[in-house]
Amino acid sequence: MNDMKLSFEKSRPGRRCSSPPSADIPQGYAASLLPAGALRSKPPRLPEMSEVDVVRHYTALSRRSFGVDNGFYPLGSCTMKYNPRISEELAALPGFSDTHPLEGEAASQGCLALMHGLSGALCEITGMDAFTLAPAAGAHGEWTGLLLIRAWHESRDDSARTTILVPDSAHGTNPASAALAGYRVQPVPSASDGGVDIDALRRLAGPDTAGLMLTNPNTLGLFERRIEDIAAIVHNAGGLLYYDGANLNAIMGLVRPGDMGFDVVHINLHKTFGTPHGGGGPGSGPVGCRARLADFLPSPIVRKEGDTYSFAEPPRSIGRVTGFYGNFAVLVKAYAYILSLGADGLREASECAVLHANYMMNSLRGVLELPYEGPCMHEFVLSARALREETGCSALDISKAMLDQGMHPPTMYFPLIVAEALMIEPTETESPETLDEAIRVIANIVETARRDPAALHEAPRTTPVGRLNEVEAARRPVVRYSFEDGD
């Protein structure tokens, strides 16, 4: 099956898709306008193909990729839900897609109104007072939020706060963002129920604490019940509370980070709010904060006076964190998603996401180990540790075997505190039939592991490429094609 040629290999000299009329400007005229150093010495090497072969090439490629439009995609922590097509259609309206960032405020009132409206909706959903829409991804939002925390402490001449506390169940971007923002990262251990170890937190919080980064529900899919105690401990120590809201899918319309005591929040619009996620973007990671931090927000923010919208720079802004105004088309999709679902619809989406995760968790708890008891929120974590000891089949083997059944595997080996972890997030957009089918597939694979473990080690067999050497692929990726002439 792995016989697909690159377009460069299909190329034949002179073959064309279309034949434009020949140019009526003298040859060499365009080149005469450019400085000699900017000119090519030879024409670019482009594949030369007929139109039908181009169409077949890309159609074949599209069939080899897997997405939410192909099948079940329970990649935990990533919220690979179906995103309504209407959001795409609205983002493609010429008034949004043909606008230019340098057009000026007067000509962009509609776009500014949308950004203003979206900021307001996100404030309402999260319980924050102000938002920046600029950050281009979740991790970018974390870094921006940490700069807000740093600016806050600096504004109070409190230079002793050098440490960010991060629970050991956190998403890997949390400690990375804290380090990038110049902080020392102090891990906080988890308690046996999967929540934060309160006694440990009490010992670790102190005059050097700049803040705590917390995901709630955490990466085990569990709601942190002691959140009020946690907020009190961090605030009493003089630190601020950062909420990783990448996965807001579990709580929209049900609880708000602001009401839990958080000071800063980032949201992944590309997980929860109508933008497809994956393939490298574009994403959007807006950051919200309480009023006392709003003066530090990145510029620009949108202000409304009377019926007029304008860009403004917050008085003590940390500066710009991205070019222009963030990934605008993603903002359009998020606003479309929020307005089309409405307050009731958003709550219902979260309730369904939680219901689906609990349904699957309870159906699979006898099939694989459930290391932390639910009820879960939008996702749950199983462990293949015992199965591996018994049969030699690992979480990786189960995942590869799922590919042969037309399903994307769950997130594996994360969170790090669970051995042989499989982190399953079914999302709200799946039908009961799809959930039942996924449960049946996973149960069958586990049964195969007991009966014929060797078969599992050979999966996947039906995909364009079989089992890859993942270490080699990560350490020595071959991402550049070498032409025969070595060019």
Ligand X SMILES: *Cc1c(COP(=O)(O)O)cnc(C)c1O
- Contact residues toward ligand X (CB under 6 A) are 77, 137-139, 171, 173, 215, 244, 246-247, 268, 283, 285
* CA torsion through residues 421, 372, 376, 229, sign: negative
Least distance from C-beta 290 to ligand X, angstroms? 21
Least distance from C-beta 216 to ligand X, angstroms? 10
Nearer to ligand X, 91 or 137 (CB): 137
| CA distances for 254 relative to 259, 268, 290, 347, 377, angstroms | 11, 18, 19, 6, 12
Nearer to ligand X, 219 or 448 (CB): 219
Nearer to ligand X, 206 or 281 (CB): 281
Sheet-wide strand order for 163-167:
130-132, 287-289, 264-267, 240-245, 209-214, 163-167, 184-188
Nearer to ligand X, 74 or 460 (CB): 74
Nearer to ligand X, 379 or 397 (CB): 379
Least distance from C-beta 478 to ligand X, angstroms? 25
Nearer to ligand X, 138 or 238 (CB): 138
Task: Report the residue closest to ligand X, judged by CB.
Answer: 138
Nearer to ligand X, 209 or 215 (CB): 215
Nearer to ligand X, 49 or 68 (CB): 68
Least distance from C-beta 167 to ligand X, angstroms? 11
Least distance from C-beta 266 to ligand X, angstroms? 8
Nearer to ligand X, 108 or 173 (CB): 173
Least distance from C-beta 126 to ligand X, angstroms? 15
Which residues are bridge partners to 264 per DSSP? 242, 289
Nearer to ligand X, 281 or 464 (CB): 281
Least distance from C-beta 443 to ligand X, angstroms? 27
Structure tokens at 259: 């009401």
Least distance from C-beta 220 to ligand X, angstroms? 11
Rounded to an integer, what distance in angstroms lies between the CA atom of residue 72 and that of residue 319? 41
